[in-house]
Amino acid sequence: MRKPIVLGNWKLNGTTAASEALVASILAGLIEWDAVDVGVCPPFILIPQVIHQAAHTNLAVGGQSCSEYVLGAYTGEVSADMLREVGCRYVLVGHSERRALFGETNEMVARKVNIALKSGLTPVLCVGETLEERQSGRMNDVVRGQIQAVLNVVGIRSFERLVIAYEPIWAIGTGLTASPAQAQSMHAMIRGVLSEHDPAVARGVRIQYGGSVKADNAAELFAEPDIDGGLIGGASLKAEDFLIICRAAADSLRFI
C-alpha cells in the first residue's frame, strides 16, 4: 500500500499569528484522518510553535531545507539534527527554488538527503525540469540525473525511507499545472529509474506531484496511478483549500 502524502510548503510566508490561525483551522478539519499523511513545512522560526500546536495530532511538521553540514562554523545554517530534535518528521531537499536561487547542485542535494536520513528525518527529494528543458525534450534526462545523483550517494535501499516530489519548475507558482497525463508519465519514468535498481523499492516509494496543485485540480492529478499526493505551495496557505486537497489525496489511497 502506498499511503498518499500531502505537504504544505509555506515558503517565506507566515507570521506568528497567521501561522497559529492556519494550523488551528487545518487541525479542526483533520480530525481522525488516517488515509493520508499530512504535514506542513513552515519557515524555520515558526517550526517550534507549529510543533507545539500540532502535538498529539496527526499533522506532521517539516523543514523547507537543511544544511549539508552536521555542525560547525556555517553561519546561517540549520542542521537536520536540529530539525529532528525539535520534532520535525520531514525535510524538503532540493526544492527548485533552492536549486535555482541558492545554488544547490545535484551533489549538494544528494549530501543533504544523506544527512537528513542519518538524522532520522524523512527527506522529500524535489526534482523537476525547466520549461526550456521540457520544450527541448530533455526533461526525462534532467530528472533522471537528479535522481541518479542521490542514488550514487545513498543507494537504492535508502529510497525506502524518503519521499520524492516531482515539481516541473514551469508549473510552480505560475497557475500552469502539468496535465495529469504529463505528470503521470514523469512519475512512471521516475519509478522506472528506481526499478532498474530494485523493483520492490520502486513500487513502494511515494512520489508526490507539485506545481499549482489547487482545490479544483487535485483529485484528477491524484487519480493517476503513480501520483501519491502533493507538495502544495500557494494553496497550502488557505486551510479550506489545503483540506480539500488532503481529502482528494485520502480518497485516492491505493493498494499495490
> Which residues are part of the catalytic machinery?
95, 167
> 162 or 202: whose CB is closer to ligand PGA?
162
* Binding status of residue 231 toward ligand PGA by CB under 6 A: yes
Does residue 234 interact with ligand PGA by CB under 6 A?
A: yes
Largest CA distance in the chain: 48
Residue 256 CB burial class (10 angstroms; 0-12, 13-18, ≥19) = exposed
Q: Give the number of residues in contact with ligand PGA, rule: CB under 6 A.
A: 13
Please state the closest distance from residue 173 (CB atom) to ligand PGA, in A.
4
59 close to 24: Cβ distance less than 8 angstroms: no
Span 61-80, contacts to ligand PGA by CB under 6 A: none
- What angle in degrees, to the nearest 10, is found between the helix axes of 180-195 and 139-154? 40
Among 45, 85, 157, 173, binds ligand PGA (CB under 6 A): 173
Candidate residues 67, 122, 212, 217; the one interacting with ligand PGA per rule CB under 6 A? 212
Choosing from 30, 125, 213, 245, the residue that interacts with ligand PGA (CB under 6 A) is 213
Which lies closer to ligand PGA via its Cβ, residue 125 or residue 172? 172
Minimum Å gap between C-beta 8 and ligand PGA is 9
Side chain identity, residue 192: G
x-marked contacts with ligand PGA along 18-57 as a string, rule CB under 6 A = ----------------------------------------
SS (H, E, C) the chain: CECCEEEEECCCCCCHHHHHHHHHHHHHHHCCCCCCEEEEECCHHHHHHHHHHCCCCCEEEEECCCCCCCCCCCCCCCCHHHHHHHCCCEEEECCHHHHHHCCCCHHHHHHHHHHHHHHCCEEEEEECCCHHHHHCCCHHHHHHHHHHHHHHHHCHHHHHHCEEEECCHHHCCCCCCCCHHHHHHHHHHHHHHHHCCCHHHHHHCEEEEECCCCCCCHHHHHCCCCCCEEEECHHHHCHHHHHHHHHHHHHCCECC
Q: For the CB of residue 235, give the shortest distance to ligand PGA in the complex, in Å.
A: 6
Region near ligand PGA per CB under 6 A, out of 32-40, 54-62, 131-139, 225-233? 225-233
Residue from the set 167, 224, 226, 228 that interacts with ligand PGA by CB under 6 A? 167
Q: From the CB of 211, what's the least distance to ligand PGA, in Å?
A: 5
Site for ligand PGA in 3-22 (CB under 6 A): 9
Options 98-106, 152-160, 197-205, 233-241: segment touching ligand PGA (CB under 6 A): 233-241
Interacting residue ranges for ligand PGA, rule: CB under 6 A: 9, 167, 172-173, 210-213, 231-235
